[in-house]
Amino acid sequence: MTLNRREFAQLGALSLAAGFMRALPAQTPPAAAPRKTGYAVIGLGRIAAHFMPGAVNSTNSAITGLVSGHRDKAEKIAAQYGVPLASIYSYDNFDEIAHNPAIDAVYVALPNSMHAEFTIRAAKAGKHVLCEKPMATTVADSEAMIAACKAANVKLMIAYRCHFEPVHLRSIQLIHSGQLGQVQAISSCFGYNIAPGEWRLNKKLAGGGPLYDVGIYSLNACRYLTGEEPAALEAYASTIDHDSRFSEVEENTAWTMRFPSGIVASCATTYGANMSGYFKVYGSKGWLAIDPAFNYEGVHLHGELSGQALDELSPSHDPYQFQAEAEHFSHCVENNLEPQCPGEEGLRDMKYIAEIYRSAGIPVPWRMEPVSVVSGPPRTS
**Catalytic residue check, 217:** yes
Per-residue pLDDT tens digits for 102-156: 999 999 999 999 999 999 999 999 999 999 999 999 999 999 999 999 999 999 9
**Which residues lie across from 304 on neighbouring strands?**
287, 309
Q: Is the pLDDT confidence value at 5 over 80?
A: no
Res 214 pLDDT > 50? yes
**Which pLDDT does position 27 carry in this prediction?**
52
Domains of the chain: 37-162 (3.40.50.720), 165-317+325-375 (3.30.360.10)
Say if residue 189 is exposed, middle or buried (CB neighbours under 10 Å; 0-12, 13-18, 19+).
buried
Using DSSP, state whether 298 is helix, strand or coil. Answer: coil
Taking the alpha carbons at both ends of the chain, their separation in whole angstroms is 107
What pLDDT is attached to residue 371?
46
Query: Active site residue: 217, 236, 271, 282, which one?
Result: 217
> Which of the residues 36, 127, 133, 155 is marked catalytic?
133
Per-residue pLDDT tens digits for 331-348: 999 999 999 999 999 999
- pLDDT, mean of residues 160-184: 98
**Which residues, other chains included, contact 31 with Cβ-Cβ below 8 Å and sequence gap of 6+?**
none
The answer to whether residue 374 scores a pLDDT higher than 80 is no
Beta partners for 258? 232, 264
Examine the residue annotation and report whether 133 is marked as an active-site residue of this protein.
yes
Q: Is the pLDDT of residue 3 over 80?
A: no
Average pLDDT over residues 176-183: 98
Residue 373 confidence (pLDDT): 53
